Amino acid sequence: MLQSSFLMLWYSKLRGVRHMNYIFPKLKKNSSNTVTEQEKLHDLINELYEHEQLDREDYLYVLNNMTEEDSSYLFSRAFEKKEFYYGNKVYLRGLIEISNYCKMGCKYCGINYKVDTVERYRLTKDEIIHCCEEGYHLGYRTFVLQGGEDSFYTDDYLVEMLHSLKLKHKDIRITLSLGERSKESYQKLYDAGADRYLLRHETASRRLYNHLHPSFMSFDNRRVCLNNLKEIGYQVGGGMMIGSPTQTNEDLVEDLLYLKELNPHMVGVGPYLCHSDTELRGNDSGTLLESLVMVALVRLILPKALLPSTTALGTLSAIGREKALKAGANVMMPNISPSENRIKYEIYQNKICTTDTSGQCRNCIEGRIIAFDHEIDLGVGDYVGFERKNRHD
């Protein structure tokens, strides 16, 4: 016995530094709460439902004592909150992965500049416009243009593309997810018609951020970018990965506190999925249940937020995305990228929908949503009560 654990330790050392995760101990061990613990936990969940925030200590209690049984209660309260603002509607966004070139070095990401096993591609503006056209005919009215940080996409290039898109269709929203840029750049893109910007903060813990990113990347700049985007008038999305190497419940509490302070319009929450060609190879991935708990908590803290049920959740379980709808998510982002490129946008492995056409994804998603007692909404799906600030033009 002793010998076999020694061998396992030696083997994991050989494969690289392996970190045990320190989040949700009672979920991991599948333990249960005493009656008193459960009462306190449910009281805190109810308080969160009523007041939309807790203090640091109480958040930590919730995370430290969350069990599988109690997560059902949390999910039902988060679902109630979502129903209050959005009913059973799920907004669909057409996702176009425009480039897998990236100059950044996020250690978890399978398309960071160091990974040499991925074939790189980028779409031209005409190809992007073509994808949007196809998406428009499938009924989508929001297009999410996501890519690595690729200097090919200058402001002028993107501005021209945004102008063409917005000239052609007055009834669409464009979400950009192209990483950190200067405030001037964000402003130009907003003025040219971009409506929303997704830039996950990744983690609100400086320690964890520095662990997951190389030293040339800046925790503070990420926050500056998010503040700039808000100031300009974008609908802004933050977000984080759950279960990343060395993440603790204390780190997750930082995320909850930060999200409340930032008050973004959208929050992307998904599991960390270990990619074997990155320097974090050999670590455990996050789990579905942990991620769903965080989705539900975010719904309670930011009741009106647009919360995507992320593709990463669908990668962990065949009905991961549907379960997220039951835990408070209200957005899905089916892929409308050209089929030949999908497999190359491999931020993590075993990504779903890489062999489907845009039309197949569209139908598949609708079927899934209906099967889980929800309805699709193909409207632009702005944040409740959002009004766009005037452009600088």
Per CB under 6 A, residues contacting ligand FES are 334, 353, 356, 360-361, 364-365
| Span near ligand 5AD by CB under 6 A; candidates 45-53, 162-170, 268-276, 365-373 | 268-276
For tokens 């050989």, the residue is 14
Position among 311, 348, 358, 362 found at the interface with ligand 5AD (CB under 6 A): 348
Closest C-alpha among 45, 65, 51 to residue 297: 45
- Rounded-to-integer distance, Cα 80 and Cα 326, Å: 9
Residues whose CB falls within 8 Å of the CB of residue 165, separated by 6 or more in sequence, listed in order: 129, 132, 143, 172, 174, 193
Q: Minimum CB separation from ligand 5AD for residue 269, in Å?
A: 9
51 burial via Cβ count (<10 Å: 0-12, 13-18, 19+) = exposed
Q: Which is nearer to ligand FES, 41 or 131 (CB)?
A: 131
Query: Which tokens sit at 273?
Result: 């999925």
> Is the Cβ–Cβ distance between 98 and 147 less than 8 Å?
yes
CB 332 within 8 A of CB 323: no
Which of ligand 5AD, ligand FES, none binds 360 (CB below 5-8 Å, type-dependent)?
A: ligand FES
Q: Select from 86-94, 124-132, 246-254, 267-275 the region that touches ligand 5AD (CB under 6 A).
A: 267-275
- Strand arrangement of the beta sheet that strand 89-92 belongs to: 331-332, 89-92, 375-377
Q: Judged by CB under 6 A, does residue 234 bind ligand 5AD? A: no
Answer for which of 54, 236, 241, 352 binds ligand 5AD (CB under 6 A) is 241
Report, in Å, the least distance between residue 273 CB and ligand 5AD. Answer: 4
Segment near ligand 5AD (CB under 6 A); pick from 34-42, 128-136, 180-188, 272-280: 272-280
Amino acid at site 310: T
Q: What angle do CA 91, 92, 98 make, to 5 degrees?
A: 135
**Cβ proximity of 190 and 391 under 8 Å:** yes
Nearer to ligand 5AD, 70 or 202 (CB): 202
Q: How far is the CB of 280 from ligand FES (least distance, A)?
A: 27
Residue 209 found at the interface with ligand 5AD (CB under 6 A) = no
Sole window of 59-67, 256-264, 270-278, 320-328 interacting with ligand 5AD (rule: CB under 6 A) = 270-278
Least CB distance to ligand 5AD at residue 363 (A): 25
Handedness of CA 127, 114, 202, 321 (dihedral sign): positive
Question: Which ranges of the chain would DSSP assign to H, the alpha helix?
Answer: 2-15, 25-28, 35-51, 56-65, 68-86, 125-137, 155-168, 183-191, 206-212, 219-232, 249-262, 288-301, 311-316, 320-326, 339-342, 358-371
Contact between 333 and ligand 5AD (CB under 6 A)?
Answer: no
DSSP string, 332-354: E--B-S-HHHHTT--SSSS-TTS
Contact call for residue 86 and ligand 5AD (CB under 6 A) = no
User: Which residue in 136, 140, 143, 272 binds ligand 5AD (CB under 6 A)?
Assistant: 272
**What does each C-alpha distance from 338 to 64, 70, 351 come to in angstroms?**
43, 42, 15
Residue span 285-314 as binding mask against ligand 5AD, x where in contact by CB under 6 A, dash where not: ---------------------------x--
Of the candidate spans 161-169, 208-216, 269-277, 369-377, the one that interacts with ligand 5AD by CB under 6 A turns out to be 269-277
Cα 197 from chain centroid?
12
**Among 237, 238, 270, 334, which residue interacts with ligand 5AD (rule: CB under 6 A)?**
270
Q: Give the nearest distance from C-beta 345 to ligand 5AD in angstroms.
A: 10
**Binding site partner of 109, from ligand 5AD, ligand FES, none, Cβ cut-off 5-8 A by kind:** ligand 5AD
Residue numbers 8-47 binding ligand 5AD by CB under 6 A: none
State the nearest-atom distance from the C-beta of 334 to ligand FES, in Å: 5
CB within 8 Å of 102: residues ≥ 6 apart:
109, 111, 112, 113, 147, 148, 149, 150, 179
Q: Does 273 bind ligand 5AD (CB under 6 A)?
A: yes
If the CB atoms of residues 47 and 356 are measured against ligand FES, the closer one turns out to be 356
Q: Is 345 in the site for ligand 5AD (CB under 6 A)?
A: no
- Residues in 106-125 that interact with ligand 5AD by CB under 6 A: 108-109
- Residues forming contacts to ligand 5AD in the complex (CB under 6 A) are 108-109, 200, 202, 241, 270, 272-273, 275, 312, 347-348
